[in-house]
Amino acid sequence: MTDRPQNLPKRARPGRPPTLPAARERILDAAARQFAHSGYESSSVADLAAALGVSKAAIYHYFPTKQDIYDAIILDVLGGLSAAVRAEAARAEPGLARLRAFMLAHARYFERHHARFVTMLIGYSGMALPERGDAARLRDGYEGLLREILAEGVRLGQLRTLDVAATGRAVLSMLNWMVRWYKPGGGEDAEAVAAGYYELITRGAQPRP
Amino acid sequence: MTDRPQNLPKRARPGRPPTLPAARERILDAAARQFAHSGYESSSVADLAAALGVSKAAIYHYFPTKQDIYDAIILDVLGGLSAAVRAEAARAEPGLARLRAFMLAHARYFERHHARFVTMLIGYSGMALPERGDAARLRDGYEGLLREILAEGVRLGQLRTLDVAATGRAVLSMLNWMVRWYKPGGGEDAEAVAAGYYELITRGAQPRP
């Protein structure tokens, strides 16, 4: 933290938070871009401050450590994804239509929050991921929603009897791996990719009579 | 590099490589474990030397930089995967059987070389992956093999007419995402997971008449 002189103009008087409009969101957006591009370990609060044109102190006012910024990104993106996808799924008919709604809403959220999504899934390298209880609960709830949708499809006879946990994992694997290859603004959009995955996984690659 | 005195006993005379049996493989194995666990950025040659019980100089004798160790791991695992999977696929009948052989051989290789595989796919965080021409060629060749197998399945009428590039990406997404959740030595082995994915992607989740 930098020392602050005792007599500052009114807009930055002592005790007042550093002025940074929509500060929290701007910090998280810039940090996510940095983490997504270079990885957590190679990113620094100094680089982040430079990218935002503010002092390190202005960032530390909102987030005491780099890890706090990372945690906030993960919780925001997981919470936002869960809420958006849950709402879309609820609007669709149960069964296959709801599975499709889940997959397409997931892809749209990924596309709209690309840097935060990449940060969540590959921004922290290696297997020694920092695991926070609240993030784990959000993720488990999200995976649980998908399993419920699949189980409902089985009950309705729209899906064959299958291992819903393994099938849910297959669906999320295809969607999540997009962080490794998908570039927003390229050819096909993320939603179209997800629609193709839905088609493949429900209809299967073998010819149907 | 450390300075080396001019008069050393015969077993470490000047000009002789540092003694480390099966050195290259031992270094790559230990480095892969470190990269897989903690990520490339958080791993150091000093830690690696300590893990192996040798000097940093002994490691630098084989690999001038940490990046050279990382590159060697990627080339080894990509080359080994391609060779092993290509051989297994060639032994299977063309079409569906060959697709299944590809997927199961991929999973077995992943299980046997877990740390190197994890290093290749998530050990280097963020999107700023170092891309080497020879690694890219190996990867493109591997993806090309899968697309050939799928196209052959279509020609034989064992697969419906589909986008082989998108379908190949779906297959590899499911297999590759295993680096994020699969723990060797747990319940189901990697090959059984791949067999489930094969079943799902070929037969589809919808009931067949």
Position A12 pLDDT exceeds 70: no
pLDDT value at position A130?
Answer: 59
pLDDT value at position A19?
Answer: 61
Instruction: Tell me the CATH number at A139.
Output: 1.10.357.10
Task: State how far the Cα of A78 lies from the Cα of A60, in Å rounded to an integer.
Answer: 23
Task: State how far the Cα of A195 lies from the Cα of A100, in Å rounded to an integer.
Answer: 7
Position A5 pLDDT exceeds 60: no
* A203 to chain B: closest CA residue: B204
Task: State how far the Cα of A31 lies from the Cα of A20, in Å rounded to an integer.
Answer: 15
Q: Convert the pLDDT of each residue in A29-50 to its tens digit.
A: 999 999 988 888 889 999 999 9
Residue ranges in chain B modelled with pLDDT below 50: 1-14
Helices B164-176 + A164-176 axis angle, to 10: 110
State the average pLDDT for chain A.
87
Position A6 pLDDT exceeds 80: no
Establish if B186 touches chain A: CB-CB under 8 angstroms.
no
% residues pLDDT > 70 (chain A):
86
pLDDT value at position B5?
Answer: 39
- Residues 37-96 on A with a CB inside 8 Å of B are 37-42, 96
Q: Which residue segment(s) compose the domain that B59 sits in?
A: 18-66
Q: How far is CA B71 from the centre of its chain?
A: 12
Residues of B in contact with A106 (CB under 8 A): none
pLDDT value at position A83?
Answer: 97
- Partner residue opposite B174 with nearest CB, options A123, A170, A193: A170
Q: Judge whether B8 lies within some domain.
A: no
Domain termination site, one of A40, A66, A92:
A66
- Partner residue opposite B42 with nearest CB, options A41, A96, A178: A41
- Partner residue opposite B126 with nearest CB, options A37, A173, A204: A37
| Closest to A58 measured CA to CA, from A13, A31, A27 | A27
pLDDT value at position A8?
Answer: 34
Provide the shortest C-alpha distance from residue B31 to chain A (in Å): 12
**Shared domain check, A59 and A30:** yes
Better pLDDT: A119 or A123: A119
Residues of B in contact with A42 (CB under 8 A): 41, 125-126
pLDDT value at position A185?
Answer: 86
Q: Which residues contact A29 (CB under 8 A, 6 or more apart)?
A: A115, A116
Instruction: Tell me the CATH number at A56.
Output: 1.10.10.60
Better pLDDT: A208 or B34: B34
**Shared domain check, B138 and B44:** no
Establish if A137 touches chain B: CB-CB under 8 angstroms.
no
Cβ contact, residue pair B204, A205, below 8 Å: yes
Q: Convert the pLDDT of each residue in B129-162 to its tens digit.
A: 556 788 888 999 999 999 999 999 999 999 999 9
Q: Judge whether A24 lies within some domain.
A: yes
Single pTM value for the model: 0.87
- pLDDT category at A13 given cuts 50, 70, 90 is very low
Cβ contact, residue pair A162, B40, below 8 Å: no
pLDDT value at position B126?
Answer: 53
